[in-house]
Amino acid sequence: MASLSSCSSLSLFVRDRGNRNDATFAKKLFVKLARPVRFSRNQVSYGSSKLKSFGVGVVRASAEVVVEEAVVDREEKRRILRVGVICGGPSAERGISLNSARSVLDHIQGEDLCVSCYYIDCDLNAYAISSAQVYSNTPADFDFKLESLAQCFQSLSDFAEHLAASADIVFPVIHGRFGEDGGIQELLERYNVPFIGTGSNECRQAFDKGTEAIEPELSKWFARNQLDFNSGKVVVKPTRAGSSIGVTVGYGVADSLQKAKEIISKGIDDRVLIELFLEGGSEFTAIVLDVGSGFDCHPVVLLPTEVALQFHGSGDVKEKDAIFNYRRKYLPTQQVAYHTPPRFPVDVIESIREGASLLFQRLGLRDFARIDGWFLPSTTYFLSSSENKFGKTESGTILFTDINLISGMEQTSFLFQQASKVGFSHSNILRSIIHRACLRFPKLATYSSKSSHAPRRLRSSKPTDTSKQLQGIRKVFVIFGGDTSERQVSLMSGTNVWLNLLAFDDLDVTPCLLASRIDHSSGADSAKNDSDVSSRAVWSLPYSLVLRHTTEEVLDACLEAIEPARAALTSHLRNQVMNDLMDGLKKQSWFRGFDIADEQPVRFSLKEWIKLAKEVQATVFIAVHGGIGEDGTLQSLLEAEGVPYTGPGVMASKICMDKVATSLALNHLVDRGVLTINKEVKQKEDLFKMPIVQIWDDLLSKLQCETLCVKPARDGCSTGVARLCGAEDLAVYVKALKDCLLRIPPNSFSKAHGMIEMPNPPPEVLIFEPFVETDDIVVLSTSTNGNAQRLKWKGQSQWVEVTVGVIGKRGMMHSLSPSITVKETGDILSLEEKFQGGTGINLTPPPTSIISNEALEQCEKRIELIANTLQLEGFSRIDAFVNVDSGEVLVIEANTVPGMTPSTVLIHQALAEQPPMYPHRFFRTLLDLASERVI
């Protein structure tokens, strides 16, 4: 194999633990390029002597124990594996941890496995929580609801003792501090609790990116590495806080010092690493899966992923120097694209796989991990302080920079992307990891050998397969994408629906991408001659191509997959990895095979796709937000062919898509407690022509208000929505439209706000309406350790903003429990706060301290009246303001294809039903309503 090298981003302090050769070898794999500069405040240790201090907790109000366990007889208990999933933690990545826990919970449950859920807060207090609570949006959501919905353990010791008695094996999904640094692992080891993943000593040595050396002065370090003192680019990152949060680029000594101080002051980490910015390289990440038996390590590296940053017309030089940070990794942005396998020479891919495998083995890692690094082509200048030849191939240099002991497990994470490329579904890879871990523990090895679980069937994306109809299996096409500004949310929604419906054996579910009007295959703008919407492209997708962050990336992956040379290489590498996996898995009695077929995407016109849906008797689950998915166009085309679909019909969709028409349709309900907001419609071009001050004065005069809310007239509910407090704010917004900005940065207006995602392309028509003032709802801590929390609400205006899901048949719509969302910054919910886990607090149902049960009941009745008046059916979401005294409802808008992402409030509301509807059952109910409709 080619030799390996390391960049300065990961300098391990490797202890010799009885195998000097292994330790020495591992240390050589991370040869220091140049000693990094580290800034420290207080050292934190997770040694045995410190563990007791972490367990200082407060006994909560008497709450029921919520650990969930299947009610089974003794015979069944002996064959059911009890898995404890632990999420949360003290690091800034705990929001990612919650998303990971949701994925694990969604995909591992079954008759042979019982899951209990646990949460650790930022003060290291441990709680037993219900599985329903895992679907809360954020850590703040967890913390706010802990008093009433969870059982707190008095100490971490009590927590560990509980796990020893109640769980057969623990699956830690805590990212960053206490999850990947050996903290939770040491606790579990002390109490002999079996767990998945690497041991505590090995975690400590692999997690810390720093060294034990004394800090050199930063200026000397810049000089030694030939960096300009004022502008030299470096990477500034937390030493022990995962791989995403707080990672940024510094320019020169002063800027780097400032950013290091910010990381410390924000509490992300108390030690900061500064390393060289690698120019001209390509970043990669690789999942390593251990398929050995017992304590025999047999690591196999899956197909690595190339992480390609890309920028669209940005003139900001520093933006082009950007790195793969939290926003690019976890939010739907077009600034990053993934290629699995990488677009590297074959010898480089082979060397990455061999090197990552050796690192995994020699560092003593277990079960699975993710290893990140860089490939620097031979043409790239590479400064090294080492004469070592590790990392050299004929094509360039390979550098391994980060080890992630607990890889992210969101639905579209690298773990699932790479696993699906080599034949594993979400469920199969997670269960394989669990089975592998069980083999290390004698009491659990029997479970793995006798497990009856097998993949349901080979999952095929072929929509034309009609053989399953004879078996009583129902076809479902889930369609998402489109070309509105909410197409990325649409991808998240469609992916979530598709994965949840896969749980049903009587359904054959095919994910489908509605491509944008830009025909990527020809490079032409088909909108010019696309008067017939039915000529729009729809791609039937294989499993692995769905797992992306953007629709553009999915489409690019489709085109890449059908390119003959690329397809042949991918197939060859896939077979190679699968053969490597089978060398170990064939010895495992529990392994029942791969369950993802190797297929290519298929392109249809929308017209062809709908005819196919009719031929195979498919039901279409619509997850296309905005555009033709929500304005009645797609619904009309499906109805013409008699194809059943989810959501409201043609007329209801048209009315709700037009926010002015929605208000007009509800005007007559004033006497019944349903109010609407006055609106003024403006053409985008008119905003460019007229003086800003004149436009502002005209709007205030017509709408009789002091501040305005602006939003696209026909483009969903999340992007381009802003509060304007003066003509200066309007000028900023209009300039953003004129410049076609993808986002307006935080605090660009006179009143504080978060990031505002803008429609792309900009909307032609905009709506201005009075901004409705509501009192801020603030969550306050009531104890010194910050765990007990309460709401602060002045209640002066008596109006709160709610969002409410409605479900049912036309004329008989049922209101789910309304949700009050506490906004984190500004007056308008950001895209992340609405759809992405990690931000926001949802109060579901609303606390009686804010709205009485009587007023809430009146609110729900009026929501049902609104839904039935608009002739909604299936499911929809209504956004409104509610008067907490009277229950009167001031309608904002109705969304006929609401967000269906894993953290959407619709999931919270469905779980608040009695009995609770978990996501897979909720989406199945919506599908069944579609099949029952009369077209």
Q: For 283-303, give the secondary structure using H, E and C.
A: EEEEEEEECCCCCCCCEEECC
Reply yes or no on whether the pLDDT at 836 is more than 80. no
Reply yes or no on whether the pLDDT at 384 is more than 70. no
- The pLDDT score that the predictor gives to residue 159 is 97
- Beta-carbon contacts of 540 under 8 Å, excluding residues fewer than 6 positions away, are 461, 462, 463, 510, 511, 512, 601, 602, 603, 604, 609
Which 3 state secondary structure label does DSSP give 107?
A: helix
Q: What is the mean pLDDT of residues 866-884?
A: 96
58-87 residue pLDDT tens: 222 233 333 344 433 444 445 789 999 999
Across-strand partners of 675? Answer: 890
Reply yes or no on whether the pLDDT at 215 is more than 50. no
769-792 residue pLDDT tens: 998 877 777 766 544 444 455 677
Reply yes or no on whether the pLDDT at 135 is more than 90. no
Of residues 820 and 74, the one with the higher pLDDT is 820
- The pLDDT score that the predictor gives to residue 355 is 94
Cβ(499)–Cβ(566) below 8 Å: no
Burial level of 911, CB count in 10 A (0-12/13-18/19+)?
A: buried
- Positive or negative, the CA dihedral 140, 144, 147, 149 is negative
Cβ(894)–Cβ(630) below 8 Å: no
Across-strand partners of 39? Answer: 272
State the amino acid at position 901 in one-letter form.
Answer: T
Q: Which of 300-309, 314-323, 838-847 has the lowest mean pLDDT?
A: 314-323
Q: Within 10 A of 869 (CB to CB), how many other CB atoms are there?
A: 16
- Tokens read off for 875: 């499911």
Which 3 state secondary structure label does DSSP give 198?
A: coil
- The pLDDT score that the predictor gives to residue 613 is 97
Scanning 109-238, the segments in alpha helix (DSSP H) are: 139-149, 156-166, 183-190, 200-207, 218-224
Max Cα distance, the chain (Å): 83
Which 3 state secondary structure label does DSSP give 366?
A: coil
Of residues 55 and 780, the one with the higher pLDDT is 780
List Cα–Cα distances, 439 to 175, 364, 451, 592, 920, in angstroms: 24, 16, 12, 16, 31
- Beta-carbon contacts of 544 under 8 Å, excluding residues fewer than 6 positions away, are 340, 417, 420, 421, 596
Tally of CA atoms within 13 A in the half-sphere of 496 that contains its CB: 30
At which residue do the structure tokens 């492209």 appear?
Answer: 537
Reply yes or no on whether the pLDDT at 210 is more than 90. no
Of residues 460 and 32, the one with the higher pLDDT is 460
Of residues 827 and 138, the one with the higher pLDDT is 138
Of 363, 499, 359, nearest to 430 by C-alpha is: 499
In whole angstroms, what is the distance from residue 57 CA to residue 433 CA? Answer: 32
Tell me the whole-structure pTM to 2 decimals.
0.83
Burial level of 701, CB count in 10 A (0-12/13-18/19+)?
A: exposed
- The pLDDT score that the predictor gives to residue 631 is 93
Containing 100, the helix (H) or strand (E) segment is: helix 94-108
Reply yes or no on whether the pLDDT at 435 is more than 80. yes
- The pLDDT score that the predictor gives to residue 807 is 97
Containing 803, the helix (H) or strand (E) segment is: strand 799-808
In whole angstroms, what is the distance from residue 580 CA to residue 582 CA? Answer: 6
Reply yes or no on whether the pLDDT at 520 is more than 60. no
List Cα–Cα distances, 900 to 332, 349, 622, 650, 908, in angstroms: 15, 37, 11, 21, 11
Highest mean pLDDT among 252-261, 300-309, 870-879: 870-879
Q: What is the mean pLDDT of residues 266-277?
A: 75
Strands 799-808, 874-883: pairing is antiparallel
Reply yes or no on whether the pLDDT at 334 is more than 80. no
Of 667, 634, 632, nearest to 652 by C-alpha is: 632
Q: What is the mean pLDDT of residues 93-119?
A: 90
- Tokens read off for 852: 């009485």
Containing 397, the helix (H) or strand (E) segment is: strand 396-404
Of residues 141 and 452, the one with the higher pLDDT is 141
Q: What is the mean pLDDT of residues 816-827?
A: 72
In whole angstroms, what is the distance from residue 799 CA to residue 880 CA? Answer: 10
List Cα–Cα distances, 193 to 83, 161, 168, 221, in angstroms: 11, 9, 8, 45
Of residues 140 and 563, the one with the higher pLDDT is 563
- The pLDDT score that the predictor gives to residue 592 is 86
State the amino acid at position 690 in one-letter form.
Answer: M
Reply yes or no on whether the pLDDT at 453 is more than 60. no
Reply yes or no on whether the pLDDT at 270 is more than 80. no
Strands 874-883, 889-895: pairing is antiparallel
Of residues 915 and 465, the one with the higher pLDDT is 915
In whole angstroms, what is the distance from residue 755 CA to residue 747 CA? Answer: 8
- The pLDDT score that the predictor gives to residue 191 is 97
- The pLDDT score that the predictor gives to residue 221 is 79
Highest mean pLDDT among 455-469, 523-537, 619-633: 619-633
The gap from C-alpha 331 to its chain's centroid, in whole angstroms, comes to 7
Cβ(489)–Cβ(631) below 8 Å: no
In whole angstroms, what is the distance from residue 804 CA to residue 814 CA? Answer: 10
Cβ(612)–Cβ(469) below 8 Å: no
- The pLDDT score that the predictor gives to residue 328 is 43
DSSP 38-49: EEES-----SHH
DSSP assigned state of 130: -
In whole angstroms, what is the distance from residue 130 CA to residue 67 CA? Answer: 6
- Tokens read off for 105: 């919970």
- Band (525; pLDDT cuts 50, 70, 90): very low
Cβ(862)–Cβ(672) below 8 Å: yes
- The pLDDT score that the predictor gives to residue 443 is 87
The gap from C-alpha 798 to its chain's centroid, in whole angstroms, comes to 35
- Percent of the chain at pLDDT > 90 equals 50
- Band (32; pLDDT cuts 50, 70, 90): very low
- Band (509; pLDDT cuts 50, 70, 90): very high
Of residues 744 and 217, the one with the higher pLDDT is 744
Cβ(461)–Cβ(510) below 8 Å: yes
Query: For 494, phi and psi rounded to 5 degrees?
Result: -60, -40
Of residues 432 and 29, the one with the higher pLDDT is 432
- The pLDDT score that the predictor gives to residue 818 is 95
In whole angstroms, what is the distance from residue 716 CA to residue 626 CA? Answer: 5
Of residues 548 and 386, the one with the higher pLDDT is 548
Reply yes or no on whether the pLDDT at 533 is more than 90. no
Highest mean pLDDT among 311-325, 562-576, 767-781: 562-576
Reply yes or no on whether the pLDDT at 37 is more than 80. no
In whole angstroms, what is the distance from residue 135 CA to residue 764 CA? Answer: 37
Query: For 822, phi and psi rounded to 5 degrees?
Result: -85, 115
List Cα–Cα distances, 807 to 855, 868, 875, 921, in angstroms: 21, 11, 4, 13
Reply yes or no on whether the pLDDT at 570 is more than 90. yes
Burial level of 92, CB count in 10 A (0-12/13-18/19+)?
A: buried
At which residue do the structure tokens 């991370």 appear?
Answer: 30
- Beta-carbon contacts of 273 under 8 Å, excluding residues fewer than 6 positions away, are 9, 36, 37, 38, 209, 210, 236, 237, 238, 239
Q: Which of 51-60, 75-84, 129-138, 822-831 has the lowest mean pLDDT?
A: 51-60
